[in-house]
Structure 1
Amino acid sequence: MRRIAFMVLVLVLAALASGCRKTEEKGAGGSGKLRIVATIFPVYEFARAVAGDKAEVTLLLPPGMEPHSFEPQPGDIVRVSNADLFIYTNRYMEPWAGEIVKGAGGRKLTVVDASRGAKFLKAGEGNNHDDHGHGGHNHGGEGMDPHLWLDFTNSQLMVDNIAAALAERDPANRSVYLANAAAYRARLADLDERYRKGLASCATRTILHGGHYAFGYLANRYGLRYLSAYAVSADAEPTPAKLAQLVNQVRAEGLKYIFTEELLDPRTAETIARETGASILMLHGAHTVSKADLDRGVTFMELMEKNLKNLREGLQCR
């Protein structure tokens, strides 16, 4: 009953938003710019890089909100209803995106799946053969890893998909969008090369992570082994057996560092560190950022540069 009532409210609000929209056909606030709503931080960043000053890009999820546990509210549907483009990462990361699109009505809404054409990995594929990547907590129930932007070749593909959608929706500025995309794609390619070189010669090639399964694409791209404390869902909790296994792994391999992640409770990493004497370093998955970071203008590139620095330290790279 709650779901039915919610959808009825969504439809009413979407109808109201559609009426308001008719008075705003020239773009955000009458500026003539495209209005873009992007779900989470990576696609928000990519959309801003591609759009430049030709669009107003807003972030759907509040700062600090985990996309894994996000539940759209009627106000979110209204925001999307009033947009020209709605950009989401992929159906595994945002299984709720379809619900938003249905509620928004879609009369003139361009919906962009930024992952179109990407090859997804299963959680645990290629570098982690434990069962915690397949524990039923995965997005869409299909056991796929949704964090594809942490392979920077995927990030480049996402940028191209966003640019193509903007160019089609606003052909007058097509050349601007394509040029901006090419410039940002080159920066991502350079970042990828620096990761490749920076992680080529390391004392250990195991990333042991006291958080949820988020860095599989990164590990797969650079030939690293990746072990996480629990599954793809950030709401999961590691079992005592899993914690014991990871503690034994640190001791057996003589690992000096373990990793934790942004805005999640660090207790698991702290427990492993306390039991083994290892130190803790941060890895940022860029799913979300704090309000303070967003307000100061933190960038995807900045976060990934910090990741490379901490990976080189944690893996003891030359």
Structure 2
Amino acid sequence: MKKMITLFTLLITVLILISCTATKNADIVTTMFPQYDFATQIVKNKLTVSLLLPPGVEAHAYESTSKDLVTIEESKLFIFTSLDIDTWIKDPKSLGGDQTVIMNLSEHYILEEHEHDDLGAIENIGEHEDEDELHFWVDPVIAMQLLDAILEEIVQIDPENETFYRTNAEIYYEELQDLHESFDTFMQSGYIDVDIFFAGHNALGLFGKRYHLHIESLFESFKPDADLTSSELISFTEIIKQAGVHILFIEELAEPKAADQITNELAKEQYDLEIFELHAYHNLTKKDLEDGVRYADLLERNIEFIKQALNNNND
């Protein structure tokens, strides 16, 4: 009798665990923050959206787990960034279940010509070969294209809520468009072809090209969380002083060890230098994710920091 009770209890426990696991299966699975945010803003509470990348984790260092593969297989829509970014994906067709739609985000945008007077346009129009284009989502104009593309895929998997999804997408699209147009107007008011300085790998090349903003990287190949040599420290501090800048940008989720070294060294000469984050939208901190921070919020944050830097340089 005791054995039967024990077996019955074990069976109930297993069924509960299975039930709990089933409720966690997401309708839409994403590999990186931009598509997670766009999908979330479109579907709201109609569908569930999952982000495979844990908060605070560097996107390029991510490796999938067997649990992730099961999550993808049981989803209705799987959105990955590109084969160059999501290097753990070898064969997209092998992922997902029979009903899973696989979406390669890098196949859903066009790099449009964008000119200001005689400054020229972005090169390699219509091609995705440029190094900057690895991070195509940082350009707000492209981001709006991605939002539209994701909308169409969502409508395909849940046509019953099409009107709801299109309304949400339109609202978010207009918000992104307003931010883009406002910043574009600001840049054209006297800031075309100006410089800001960045410590680390610059993933915002297309953002810079979009607004004709030069993002000068002090050390592209150097890890921002590593120590600078004395010669590097001297070189970088001289560059900053000669440029007369007082704001240095760093990438998100990076320890600003090198930037802090530069700041401290300049402080010895009574030269003030502030450190600001320039976000490339790869991933969020745990706090930002819990606070519901969106792509639009990060874009607005970037814009405000850049404006502050440019106004500071003019003082």
TM over 0.5: same fold?
A: yes
TM-score, scaled to structure 2: 0.75
Cα deviation, residue 274, structure 1: 3.2
In 2 relative to 1, CA 93–244 (structure 1 residues): closer, same or farther, beyond 3 Å?
farther
Q: What does residue 213 of structure 2 align with?
A: 224
Cα shift at 1:252: 2.2
Distance of aligned partners of 1:147 and 1:114 in 2 relative to their CA distance in 1, 3 Å threshold? same
Alpha-carbon RMSD: 3.4
Q: 1:84–1:243: structure 2 CA closer, same or farther, 3 Å change rule?
A: farther
Distance 1:94 1:144, change over 3 A: farther
Give, in whole Å, the separation in 2 of the partners of 1:142 and 1:70: 23
Distance 2:193 2:160 in 1: 51
Q: Which residue matches 1:294? A: 289
Work out which of the residue numbers 28, 50, 65 in structure 1 matches 2:42: 50
Match of 1:169 in 2: 157
Is the contact between residue 50 and residue 180 of structure 1 (CA under 8 Å) also seen in structure 2?
Answer: yes
Q: Any idea what the Cα deviations from partners look like across 1:3-61, whole Å, max 9, x if unmatched?
A: xxxxxxxxxxxxxxxxxxxx99xxx749xx97001111111100111222221001110
C-alpha contact 2:58 2:282 (8 A) present in aligned 1 = yes
What is the deviation of 1:147? Answer: 2.0
Q: Which of these residues, 308, 312, 315, is aligned with residue 310 of structure 2?
A: 315
SS at match of 2:64: coil
Match of 1:87 in 2: 79
Query: Which residue does the alignment assign to 2:274?
Result: 279
Separation in structure 1 between the aligned mates of residue 23 and residue 50 of structure 2, nearest angstrom: 13
TM-score (norm 1): 0.74
Tell me the amino acid that sits aligned with residue 46 of structure 2: K
| Aligned residues of 1:38 and 1:44 also touching (Cα < 8 A) | yes
SS of residue paired to 2:206: helix
Kindly tell me: are residues 243 and 75 of structure 1, through their superposed partners in 2, closer, same or farther at Cα, counting changes over 3 Å? farther
Contact 1:213 / 1:232 at 8 angstroms: preserved in 2?
no
Give the gaps of 5 or more residues in structure 2: 1-17, 113-119, 122-127
- Report whether the alignment pairs 1:207 with 2:196: yes
For these two proteins, the number of residue pairs brought into alignment is 274
Residues in 2 aligned to 1:146 and 1:210: alpha-carbon distance in whole angstroms: 19
CA distance 1:226–1:175, shift in 2 (3 Å): same
Match of 2:27, SS state, is: strand
| % identical equivalent positions | 29
The structure whose Rg is larger is 2
Query: Partners in 2 of 1:233 and 1:40 — Cα distance?
Result: 24
Contact 1:204–1:315, Cα closer than 8 Å, also in 2? no
Matched, 1:256 2:263: no
Matched letter for residue 201 of structure 2: H
User: Cα distance, 1:311 vs. partner?
Assistant: 0.8
